[in-house]
């Protein structure tokens, strides 16, 4: 999660998603991640208060840094944006917030050269980052 440096949760290292549902959110203009987050709010019997929806994580970080609301984006994107915006990262404690991604192929030998190069690259990243390991 990203908040402005002046947000009430700036001093917290981690929070529960339910603690944020009173805040205004800056979110994505659609996509699987945004759908997943909104489903989690629905499971809690709530609906997110969306102030604005944007097309990229950089835009979300800029708006959040300006104090327009809070955002939930991948940690890697938040870390990239942290240097150029006025945001603070706060970890979500909810189990669903840690996504496990899988890389699946039917048969490696059937991949085209570009697809094989991408597969190899992503597989190597998975070894460097346990949360990205192929299953």
Residue-wise pLDDT for 73-120, tens only, equals: 999 899 999 989 999 999 999 999 987 778 888 998 999 999 999 988
Which residue is it, tokens 């290292």?
13
Which tokens sit at 129?
């980052």
| DSSP-based three-state secondary structure for 125 | helix
Instruction: Give the predicted TM-score (pTM) of the model.
Output: 0.76
Query: Hey, how many other C-beta atoms are within 10 angstroms of the C-beta on 16?
Result: 12
Which residue is it, tokens 């990203």?
2
Distance of CA 109 to the CA centre of its chain: 33
């Amino acid at each position: 999660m990203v908040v402005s440096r002046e947000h009430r949760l700036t001093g917290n290292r981690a929070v529960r998603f339910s603690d944020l549902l009173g805040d205004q959110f800056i979110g994505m203009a659609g996509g699987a991640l945004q759908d997943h987050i909104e489903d989690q709010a629905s499971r809690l019997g709530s609906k997110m208060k969306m102030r604005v929806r944007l097309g990229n994580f950089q835009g979300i970080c800029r708006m959040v840094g300006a104090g327009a609301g809070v955002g939930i984006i991948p940690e890697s994107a938040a870390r990239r944006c942290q240097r150029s915006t006025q945001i603070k990262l706060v970890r979500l404690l909810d189990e669903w917030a840690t996504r496990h991604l899988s890389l699946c192929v039917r048969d490696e030998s059937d991949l085209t050269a570009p697809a094989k190069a991408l597969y190899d690259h992503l597989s190597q990243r998975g070894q460097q980052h346990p949360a990205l390991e192929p299953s």
